[in-house]
Amino acid sequence: MVSMISSPPPTTEYVLDACAMLAFLLREPGAVVVDNLMTAANTVCYAHAVNLCEVYYDFVRNHGQPTAKQVIQDVLKAGVVLRDDLDIGF
């Protein structure tokens, strides 16, 4: 009997822009797609600090600063990885 050692499937990476995160947070069209990406096995979702600033600003305007702060914490706790690099390669 031959034993096959399987390697884990490759990780798929996604970058969420502000619109995707707002759709997810506000349960707008596309929210299910973003939710599925964030919870799928072997996936990593990134968000750049600039896009998180857009989300923060939208929530400050519409719901107040305490809610905006909580929303950003919730996004990061949900597993979205913060990127803050802004070099030529990015």
Q: Please report the domains of the chain, with CATH numbers, ordered by start residue.
A: 12-83 (3.40.50.1010)
Tell me the whole-structure pTM to 2 decimals. Answer: 0.84
pLDDT, mean of residues 29-39: 95
Split at pLDDT 50, 70, 90, the class of 4 is low
Split at pLDDT 50, 70, 90, the class of 90 is low
For residue 55, pLDDT over 70 is answered with yes
Q: Which residue has the higher pLDDT, 90 or 31?
A: 31
Q: What percent of the chain has pLDDT over 70?
A: 92
Length of the chain measured in residues: 90
Q: Are 41 and 11 in contact (CB under 8 A)?
A: no
